[in-house]
Structure formats: structure tokens, C-alpha cells
Structure 1
Amino acid sequence: MKKNNFILILIGILNLTVYNIWSQQSNSNQISTSENAYLGQQPPGLTPELFAPDMISTKEHLEIEGVFAPGMKEFYFTRQVQGEKPKTHVFQLKNNTWQESYAIPRTGEVAISTDGNTMYLGNEYKTRKNSGWSNQKSLGSSFKKYPIMRLTASSKSTYVFDERDTIGTIRYSRLVNGKRETPRTFTKEINTGTWVAHPFIAPDESYIIWDAERKGGYGDSDLYISFRKKDGAWGPAINMGKEINSKYEDAFGSVTPDGKYFFFHRVHISEEGFAKSHANIYWVDAKVIENLKTKAKEQQPSNKGTAAIQNPYLGQKPPGRTPERFAPGIVAKLNWEYGGTFTPDMKEFYFLREVGEKEEDKKMEFVVFQYKDNQWEESVISPRVGQPFIAPDGRTMHLGRRYKERTETGEWSEIKKLGSLFEEIRIMRLTASSKGTYVFDEVGMPGGNGIIRYSRLIDGKREAPKPFEKQINTGKMNAHPFIAPDESYILWDGRRESGFGNSDIYVSFKQPDGSWGEAINLGETINTEAWEAAASVTPDGKYLFFNRNVGKVKATDKYDNIDIFWVDAQIIEKLRPK
């Protein structure tokens, strides 16, 4: 098929004047259904089916670009009638009845944000109002230069979008601490082949779907998927298979907001003209994606995150249920060590170390061990700059109320500030979940109580920090929180009357209603009469790391020695309520 023919038929409208408002012309053709979901259609299985035959997908017209809005009460798609210009049609569920509410000239490929409040139309957008959608607005100067066809957004407000040309380039732009970053190009895992277009990013950013022409495909454009790896990188492109792809153009894939079904369109523009052409919307059970994810895992080494490393964990023998010093003589030495954290690919280990023989010569260093050429190499990054934590996607290094970003070269950027929301809080340690929720402490609180706070990312905006309830903020010296990537639990340390001595490590599990359970002391295996603190779990989920005060090395030392310990993370699962 000639792609430019398709563009002329379905995209030529882009140069028309954009309507200032969406017409509210109601169509009297109401569709009564016994089942309200999905326009009353019987859901498909693992074989794609036409979506709503004769209602949406017709024989006489061309239909493409079908998407539901969150809430599943609005369905948008593009239809071209022979001799007319394409229109965007909208079906809405009103009074338990689906009806075609209006159809207007097409001004772009519709994508709805995960909160349902923004409609993206290429490099423009609309916002939802009580009376309908606003006028179209520009996304800003960073996007004006790109002839964007489709832009989709994750729940973190990461934009993923294409560019209308023969090769096609898919780019992304994240919202970092409330600021929109300059668009960046995806790597070759996605940007390979021709006609690379129509990306869809999962709300949780765990995968990307797009279409392209590649060697080994089934004919015209095929649909591909890439799953995000633990280190934040994107996995190889996986053709979605002959069940989805055909000899025609299969494109514009997306998953319904309820996560149940995968939608795409199939197009064949005949050289014999409109009457011999067809373009329809298809749907299939979204389990096809999970099946491909399983296939992707089977193609990867089975040893989670460490298979490519001949000597994982700095070559140390893993501990059992009794804590052990981590890497004695390598990491755990005679002086003070603190805050061990691995990157998601388990190939970098960061921590703070005190050096110097004499008291007056002692200073703190920021140290990293990196796995290179099948061996671990140690280097000093800088003097102490904060307590390090690597975000679950591996792209941000948090350092209290400051941070660094991983650049395209793989190096870390210069230190940046988190912003005004955090400027007045004296943060020691800040950790983040996969959803972008920050959890952090504050040093120097009156009375030594310590307050642990959180700040969520809601619809791409960072909310003002809020303190946790008494389940966590009870006792004194509450500090050094760690939030699980999936937000199912929080670890922290503090002093409570029921503790074993100095600061102990506690865990709180998230309850089914979203609240936090009572604090659970990790027990005498972890906690002693000494100081235990700064707990975290390795990105592969296997080991719990924490710090323990092991006393003074010399009687004349000003400060006690602190070492990094590790233990099997099953100790946390044993405490999880059944």
C-alpha cells in the first residue's frame, strides 16, 4: 500500500481551521443495549474481532483510531464517508443508552489522558470543562516543530509521540519535578524500520506499543511492543504476532482504560479506489499482551537482574536469615559506611564512606562500585553530597532534597534541586516508588521526634508534602524511610518504648483500603540494643540492606563505627499479614 494515499485520505484535514469548540449536535439514532459496557458488544477472546460491526466498523465507510475515555462512557473514532472529509465521531453512554452524540471535522488523532481531563490532538490539546471540551491549545514551543500525529501520556504525564514522515521517529518527554523536559528520541529498540508511528505508552510505563514496517514483518505496518526492563531500559521490539498482524496495515494500538481489551485498526487502501478499500477497528482480549510479556521473560536469562553478572552483589555469598556484614574488607571496613543502594540492573552499588586514620583527618566520600568487563571496579565520585537512593526506573539518583538524572550517555547530570515544595524541609533521605511517590524524613525536628512525609505525583503534578499518620509518625527519631516500588509497604527506623534499645527498623504494610497498617518491629534478628537504621530492599527484591552501629574501633574515636548489613528479604514477607 502507498502510505501517502492513506495520508491524503485520512490526514489531509489537518490543514483545516481548527474548530474552537466541539459541536454538541446530538444524533437521534440511539442504540439500546442489554449490556452497557463496550457499546453493548460481546467481548472477544484471544482472536481479534471487528468492534461493533455495522455500528462502528462498517463495510461502506473507513473507520480508524478508536479509543475509549477513562470511565468507559465515551468512545471516539474517525470515520471517512466517500466524497467527504474525515470526521471524529463520539458515542456516549447516557441514561444507560449508547448514542452517537456528535461528529465534527477531524483535527487530529484523539488520545485521552489517564485522568480523563485532557484530550491530546498531536501537538495540541483540550481540557475538559463542565460544558464540554475547551478550545484547542498548543502544547508549547518544545513540540511546535514536530508534525505529531499521535501523542499519548502515562499516569506520570510522560508524553510519547511520533512524527509524520517516511522513516518515523518516536520521542518521549517526561515531567521531572513539575517541569516538562525537552523531547528525547527513543533508542533503536523502538526507532528501527520505516513508518515508525502511533505510540501508546502504558499508564504505568511498563510497556510501549507502536506500529512500523520492519524486516520479518507480515506485510504492511505491523504492531510491536517493548517491555520496560528493571534497569529502566526498553526491551527488544516484539512483533505482536500473526493473530494481530496481517498482510495489511495494522496500526494505532492501545489498551482500554480498564485494562481489559486491546484495540487497533486494520487498513487496506486499494489502488482501485475508495469502494475497494477497507479500514476497520478491531479488538481482542488484552491477555495477548501478558502472553507476550511471558514470552519476553522466557527469552531473558532467568536469574533476576543478575544473570549477566558472573559475580553479583560484589562477588559476595548471599546471606540467609541472619544478617551479615556486606562485603567485609571491600565495603565494610574499620570506618563508617552508610546507605548502600544498587541500581535496578544490579551493576552499580553506591554508598558513603568515612576515610582517614586520625580523627582530624577523617572525611566522607561518595563511593561507587561498577560492574565492568566481568569485574567490580571501585571509584570515588565526590565528597559526601547526600544520602543516595536510585529510583526504580534507574533514571534518577535522589540525594535528599536534590537529585541527579541519568543522561543519554549513561553518566549522571549535575546536581539539581527538587523545587520550592521541598526547599524548607531538611531532608536526610528521600526514596521513591514506581509511581513517583516521594517518601522522606526531616533532620533536626524539635524534641527529636522526626516526621516522615510523602508527596504523590497526581496527574503529572507534584502535590505538597503531607505527614504520615500515627502508624508511622509515633515515637522519636523517625527517619530514613524506604517505600516499596509497588507501594505495598514502608520501612523506616525510630525509637519506641517497645523497641530493643536504640533506633529499631519497622515496617508498615498498605491495607486494602489504602491506609497504612500498624508499625511492626522487624524483630530481634534485625534489631538489637544498638542503632539499626536506613533499611532498603535490593531492586531484585531478594535482600534487605540496613546499617548497624557496631561500636568504636578505638577507644579514642569520636564516633562509633557503622557498617552496612544484609539479610534475606523473606524476613519482610514473614511479617506481611495473611
Structure 2
Amino acid sequence: MAGMSSMRGVLLMMTLWELGCGAHGGRPAEALENHGGTCTPELYGAGLFTTGAWDFFMAFSPDQRRVLFGRADDRFQHYTLYETQLTDEGHWSRPVLPRFATEWSNADPHFSPDGRTVYFISNRPEPGEQGPRSSYDIWAASLDTDGAWEDARRLPAPVNDKHRDEWSPAVAANGNLYFGGERDGTLGGSDLWVSRWVDGAYQPPENLGPAINSSVHELEPWIAPDERYLIFSALRREDGLGGYDLFLSRKVDGAWTPARRLCEGINTPASDYNHSVSPDGKWLYFSSTRPFTGDVGARFDAPRDDSAVQGIGRGTGDMYRIPMSALGL
């Protein structure tokens, strides 16, 4: 991504520098109640999804046999999407670039609940343009009847603003599209928005309001298929623990409840973000820059490559997971 900088990458680099200098977030507020008796996530996917590179975001197909995941450069400025599939022998295939994401910078994959379409962000140009673009837009790619990827398409206005970034698109079962971004009407920096799907068209994005958004940056929503809860990342909120933290809000009688920080263990003084929930609703996956020195657990690389795990815990992004039951969900 020569000649341009990702706002998210710049914020992350600043946060890591501040944490290294001993700076921390504001006053920690009461965290979300821990329902599971423990809030200790496990490192996940050593050798494949967690490698010591900057690993982030995992998107599972509904049958959980296909995974799209992201990997960034050391400055978190250029993003690459990979795809792996579960073989009949029970191993994950060697990661490849999906057909729709072989060029430019691509990130933040999210499958639609029906598994037919993946939404992602990209700085690629549209046909006829000279790339890359100066901002990230939301794109979509669908699977054909044979399970092969079709060409990606850029979502139209009013979803995308060609002069501003959109982040982490997540789609509910009714087609409503949630995403992060800066645009007119923000409460702070980046806010979370929803563009409702009505009569086959996206409507102008609506700010999710002060129960969700704050005076700082909210970036990455993950919406439940039925829209009953929302998990999102935010940077240095007053009720955070450090860098990026994960928060949850529930929808009650059509309104979002005030967001609460997920429990310590999920959140740390490091950055915890880039999250998703498995299609069966059983697992929360997220990336963390926390240190790690223990046993990496089950290996996902076949054949095994020990060099693929040597950098785990070095402070970039490693993938973790925790049962959703620990959150009462």
C-alpha cells in the first residue's frame, strides 16, 4: 500500500508505543459479568492462524469448513487475506489467496449468515481507476453454485464514502450492514453505523448512538445474526483497560443498552480486537497483542513447520478464543 497510511494502523502503532512507555487507559469501569466461572481465553490455531506475524480476523463459513483470515505487515499498514479449507482427513489446507483478493490491501472478512457472500474492506481501485485508493471501502464477493468465488464488487453509496475509511463490515440475517468509520455526525473519531437493507437497497447509514459510540474511536462491530447483541472494539475508552478493548451491548425493546467492557482475561492492558463469533455461536475469536510464553497448544500446520510459531507472543497479533458461555451468550 505504497504512499498511504491506514488510520487504524497509525492508531495501533501509537497505542503500542504508549503502552511500551507505561501509559494506560482511563478509569476502568465495571466489566461485563463473567458467567462461565473463568475468563481465560486460549491461544488458537498455532502454525496456521497464529504464527507470530500480525494475525487478525477469522471468518468461518456456516459449516465451519472454510476460513478466511487476515495477516498484516509489521506496521499494520498492508493487509492480506488468506483462505483455508478443512480437508476430508481433518487437516486445514495450505492457505492461499482467495480469487477475489489477489491484489491490493484487503482485510476484515465477514461471511453473511447464509454463507453465500463474504464482505471485506479493500483499497483497490474500481475498473478504470489508477490504484490504490486513498481510503478503504467495503466490497463483497459471492460463491457461485460450484463453490468458487465470483468477482468482487464495491458496495454503492450511501454505504461507502470514497474519501473516508470504512471498517469491518458485518451483516445481520435481515441484510442490515454494520461497520465502523468516520463521517458526518460522528460523536468522536470513528463511530459504528448501520445501513439498513430495505426493499433491496442500502439506506443512509445511521449512527448507533451514545449507548455504543463515545468521544474516542469505535471501529469493529460484530453483529449477531438476529441483532440481539453487538460486540465491538474501541480504542482507549474511559472504561477500557489499555489499547483496544472489546465491548458488548444488547438490544432490548429495540434499543441498544449501554456498552460494557468484556471481562479481564479477554481484555488486557495490550490491544484486544479483530474479533468474530463462530457461526454456531459457541466461540468468540479475537486477536491480541498481549505477551505469551506458554505452550502454544494444538498445532494447526500440516506438515509441521516450527518456524511458523517462533514469533508467537512477540507483541504483534495472536489469535485467541473463549467460549461464548463465559459471556452469558
TM above 0.5: yes
Structure 1 SS opposite 2:217: strand
Contact 2:268 2:290 in 1 (8 A): no
CA shift for structure 1 position 444:
9.2
Contact 1:365 1:380 in 2 (8 A): no
Correspondence list, 1:157-168, <5 A: none
CA shift for structure 1 position 520:
1.2
Partner of 1:398: 119
Partner of 2:251: 510
Correspondence list, 1:53-202, <5 A: none
CA shift for structure 1 position 322:
1.6
Partner of 2:181: 442
Query: Counterparts of 1:497 and 1:422 in 2: how far apart (Å)?
Result: 29
Deviations 1:40-78 (A, max 9, x none): xxxxxxxxxxxxxxxxxxxxxxxxxxxxxxxxxxxxxxx
Contact 2:39 2:266 in 1 (8 A): no
Query: Counterparts of 2:156 and 2:78 in 1: how far apart (Å)?
Result: 29
| Bigger CA radius of gyration | 1
Contact 2:245 2:271 in 1 (8 A): yes
Correspondence list, 1:109-508, <5 A: 321-354=39-72, 364-374=79-89, 375-381=91-97, 382-383=102-103, 384-400=105-121, 401-424=138-161, 425-442=164-181, 449-494=189-234, 495-508=236-249
Partner of 1:3: none
Contact 2:43 2:320 in 1 (8 A): yes
Structure 1: runs of 5 or more not aligned: 1-319, 554-558
Query: Counterparts of 2:78 and 2:205 in 1: how far apart (Å)?
Result: 33
CA shift for structure 1 position 451:
1.0
Q: Which amino acid aligns with 1:493?
A: S
The correspondence for 1:530, drawn from 246, 270, 291, is 270
CA shift for structure 1 position 379:
2.3
Structure 2 SS opposite 1:387: strand
- 1:540 equivalent to 2:272? Answer no
- Tell which has more relative contact order, 1 or 2 (C-alpha 8 A, sep 6+): 2
Query: Counterparts of 1:489 and 1:525 in 2: how far apart (Å)?
Result: 20
CA shift for structure 1 position 456:
1.2
Between the two proteins, what is the percent identity of the paired residues? 27
Q: 1:343 to 1:443 in 2, by over 3 A?
A: farther
Query: Counterparts of 2:67 and 2:182 in 1: how far apart (Å)?
Result: 25
Q: Which amino acid aligns with 2:118?
A: M
Query: Counterparts of 2:226 and 2:255 in 1: how far apart (Å)?
Result: 14
CA shift for structure 1 position 448:
6.6
Deviations 1:192-218 (A, max 9, x none): xxxxxxxxxxxxxxxxxxxxxxxxxxx
CA shift for structure 1 position 527:
0.6
Contact 2:169 2:221 in 1 (8 A): yes
Q: How much is the aligned-residue C-alpha RMSD, in angstroms?
A: 2.6
Q: 1:444 to 1:551 in 2, by over 3 A?
A: farther
Structure 2 SS opposite 1:413: coil
Q: How many residues align?
A: 245
Query: Counterparts of 1:399 and 1:345 in 2: how far apart (Å)?
Result: 20
Bigger strand fraction: 1
- TM-score (norm: length of structure 1): 0.40
CA shift for structure 1 position 348:
0.7
Structure 2 SS opposite 1:571: helix
Deviations 1:348-371 (A, max 9, x none): 11111247xxx79x9643211201
Q: 1:444 to 1:369 in 2, by over 3 A?
A: farther
Query: Counterparts of 1:444 and 1:379 in 2: how far apart (Å)?
Result: 35
Q: Which amino acid aligns with 2:49?
A: V
Structure 2: runs of 5 or more not aligned: 1-37, 122-137, 294-313
The correspondence for 1:550, drawn from 269, 290, 293, is 290
Deviations 1:441-494 (A, max 9, x none): 016999972111001112333211111110001141201100001110001011
